[in-house]
Amino acid sequence: MQIRPHHLLCMGSFVGKGYSDEFTENMCRVITALENGENIILVNGADDICRACPFNNNGICKDKEKVDRYDKAVMDALSLEYGGLYAYGDIGNEVINKICRKDKLSVICGDCEWSELCGRIYQNKLQKF
């Protein structure tokens, strides 16, 4: 699966809500495929999640500058490489350890409309992790 870096955060806090029914169904499909062993290939730009996003305009996000900033921050925090192949479980652990445990979530994507929900979900994960 082709995944852009900031979507690593989104997938880890996804609870079945999204921008549209089509987007939500697609996100469920992507996460299920990754949980079943498909690997992540990090891409710089639109990915398999963006495919069903109502803000995707021919591969360009309506909020391009914002999501590019999120992507860069995730790449820096996790020391990842575009084109790299990663396992979903491994990368999820890295998100918890290198972003959530270090209180970087709100710094990376605090201006996202989903940030409050994501923050609560990750706080619950930290208590169980």
122: pLDDT confidence band, cut at 50, 70 and 90?
A: very high
Residue 129's pLDDT is: 67
How confident is the prediction for the chain on average, in pLDDT?
95
pLDDT at 17: 87
| Token reading at 67 | 């999501």
For 10-47, how does the pLDDT look when each residue is reduced to its tens digit (9 = 90+)? 999 999 989 999 999 999 999 999 999 999 999 999 99
Percent residues over pLDDT 90 in the chain: 95
Which pLDDT belongs to residue 128?
79
Range of the domain at 24: 2-128
Q: What pTM did the predictor assign?
A: 0.94
Q: Kindly list the distances between the CA atom of residue 109 and the CA atoms of 25, 72, 129, in Å, as whole numbers in the listed order.
A: 23, 11, 22
CA atoms within 13 A on the CB side of 25: 5
Overall domain count for the chain:
1
DSSP string, 9-60: HHHHT--S--SSHHHHHHHHHHHHHHHTTPPEEE-SS--TTGGG-TTEETTE
CA angle 75, 105, 125 (to 5 degrees): 110
Q: Is the pLDDT of residue 9 over 80?
A: yes
Mean pLDDT of 86-101: 95
